Amino acid sequence: MFRIGPLEPVAPVVLAPMAGVTNAPFRAMCREFAPGLIYVNEMVMASALVNGNAKTQRMITFADGESPRSLQLYGSDPVTMGEAVRRLCDADRVDHIDLNFGCPAAKVTRKGGGAAVPAKPRLLRSILRAAVGAAAPYGVPVTAKFRMGLTDDLLTFRLTGRIAVEEGVAAIALHARTAEQHYAGAADWAAIGELKDAVAEIPVLGNGDIWEAADALAMMRATGCDGVVIGRGCLGRPWLFADLVAVLNGLAPAPTPLLGQVVETMARHARLLAGHLGENLAMRDFRKHTAWYLTGYPVGGEVRRRFSNVSTLAELDDLIAALDPTLAVVPGGERIRRGHTNGPIRVALPAGYLDDPDDATPPDDADVMALSGG
Ligand SMILES: Cc1cc2nc3c(=O)[nH]c(=O)nc-3n(C[C@H](O)[C@H](O)[C@H](O)COP(=O)(O)O)c2cc1C
């Protein structure tokens, strides 16, 4: 039985935290198709939680009855991290906390945060210790998600995994790319196997390039990993989670839906988001989702453009009504990349950052308030 601490999801499948995407409405759509999995909220700054701001409070919204309530925190200061975790647990706001050590955004790594932290193993250890120590009295499991390292010459994932075990982390997830690689090229699944070999004590989850349910099986077989983390593959395709549960139980995935079913899901998602953010803000935010839902369906550029400018729910309904619901996805349409695809990037680091890996001084990242994830 797959478990993360006390959590026992129905299958070893986790929704990857995605900033600006995996909010309560998005998770509700996924849960509709596959209840009982772990769906992680978008990343929240530990310092924003401690200093309190209204936007952060909205970001940590969970649906009534959502279980488990899973949240990713970003932070590079052990004291702030410990305090954020303690507050969340003490107020009974979460059932699971994931820590982000993979964010490659220049704004973050330039200060020594995110994907830069594992290059300073002592700092990494103290952040993990603070989080696990704060969560332990409440029985809340802490997990960690990280990349292979900063660059091919600076691979830190095995050491990060060992430190995570030593500090009492309940499971680890590897996005099998370096920070430098960003989102380009193929994820290096061999690294997931190497991490699994290095860490036998806790579940090792593999992440990167699972576009269809069969890819999850292929990854688990190729690497021996205990479970999978799904990012871009579910953008505009929340039913992927149902396919994953089916396939991991030896069943066939459902056929890819026709456009009519897709836009019916799209319309419900938009309404949930409008309830969450208010229609105005929600519809602006929803524009990216329309592009993802339509990916692979030959609706034409003009239709896509109209969806990408949608401003109201009524307008969305009109656009949907004009579509041919019998349209099928193009062959291979499920695998068309969506979300981030760019890279490589030049990893920005503080001057002299790599000179002293034993330095455990927390980076000053207090001004890093708007991030783009991991
Ligand atoms: C829009 C977007 C936002 C992301 N935000 C985060 C984040 O907040 N935290 C994180 O750990 N990873 C974040 N990621 C990375 C994903 O969690 C995942 O590791 C990555 O997309 C690779 O998995 P995939 O190939 O299944 O997409 C983000 C990715 C995307 C596309």
Digitized pLDDT (tens) for each residue of the chain, 374 residues in all: 899 999 999 999 999 999 999 999 999 999 999 999 999 999 999 999 998 878 888 889 999 999 999 999 999 999 999 999 999 999 999 999 999 999 999 988 998 889 999 999 999 999 999 999 999 999 999 999 999 999 999 999 999 999 999 999 999 999 999 999 999 999 999 999 999 999 999 999 999 999 999 999 999 999 999 999 999 999 999 999 999 999 999 999 999 999 999 999 999 999 999 999 999 999 999 999 999 999 999 999 999 999 999 999 999 999 999 999 999 999 999 999 999 999 999 999 999 999 999 999 988 766 665 554 55
The Cβ of residue 138 has, within 10 Å, a number of other Cβ atoms equal to: 14
pLDDT score at 107: 87
The rounded Cα 29 to chain-centroid distance in angstroms is 15
Atom of ligand 1 nearest to the CA of 16: 17
Please give the distance, rounded to the nearest whole angstrom, from the Cα atom of residue 18 to the centre of ligand 1: 5
Structure tokens given for 138: 């409440």
Output the pLDDT for position 365.
67
Strands across the sheet with 44-45, in order? 38-39, 13-15, 227-230, 204-207, 171-175, 142-147, 96-101, 70-74, 44-45
**Predicted model pTM:** 0.97
- Show the ligand 1 pocket: residues with CB < 6 angstroms: 16-21, 42-43, 72, 100, 102, 145, 175, 207-210, 230-233, 339-340, 373-374
Mutate-to-test residue for ligand 1 from 23, 97, 175, highest number of ligand atoms within 8 A of CB: 175
| Closest by CA position to 69, among listed 88, 42, 96 | 96
So what's the pLDDT on residue 171?
98
Cα–ligand 1 centroid distance for 330 (angstroms): 25
Closest ligand 1 atom, residue 230 Cα: 26
Q: How far is the CA of 135 from the centre of ligand 1 (A)?
A: 24
Task: Measure 231 CA to ligand 1 centroid, in angstroms.
Answer: 5
Distance in angstroms (rounded) separating the CA atoms of residues 220 and 186: 16
Catalytic choice (30, 89, 103, 225): 103
Measure CA 336 to chain center. 19
Q: Would you report the helix, strand and coil content of the chain in percent, each value rounded to 5?
A: 45, 10, 45
Q: Let me know if 103 is a catalytic residue.
A: yes
